Amino acid sequence: MANIHIKRKHNLNRADARIKVEELAKTLQGQLGADYHWDGDCLCFKRTGASGVIDVSREGMVEVDVKLGLVLRPMKGRIESSIHEGFDAALAESKDSTPT
């Protein structure tokens, strides 16, 4: 299994970051058929070939962990780029949304 781990700084408060992540999850649900649910401040998602967690529990930080199955493993780079692009758009109101 291939893993993707991304930490992203932002200037949003935790509640606003949670709203942005929820909007992103709804988009993924519509486009990719991903199911998701909240477990505290962590959004857990799953779809065929991939699962993961988006953690918004730390103020000023969003952390993503994705596990890719065998079929999606060759697309890891493309998927990781898409995650960065998604956060660029979702955290657009943030002045410092640089990856760490």
Within 10 angstroms of residue 45's Cβ, the number of other Cβ atoms is 20
At residue 95 the predicted structure's pLDDT band, cuts being 50, 70 and 90, is very low
What's the DSSP call for residue 43? E
Domain edges within the chain:
2-90
What CATH number labels 2-90?
A: 3.30.310.50
Number of residues written out for the chain: 100
pLDDT digits (tens, 9 = 90+) for 30-70: 888 899 999 999 999 999 999 999 999 999 999 999 999 99
pTM summary value: 0.85
Contact 6, 98 (CB under 8 A): no
Q: Which helix (H) or strand (E) holds 67?
A: strand 61-68
Kindly give the residue spans of alpha helices, DSSP state H, lying in the chain.
14-32, 76-90
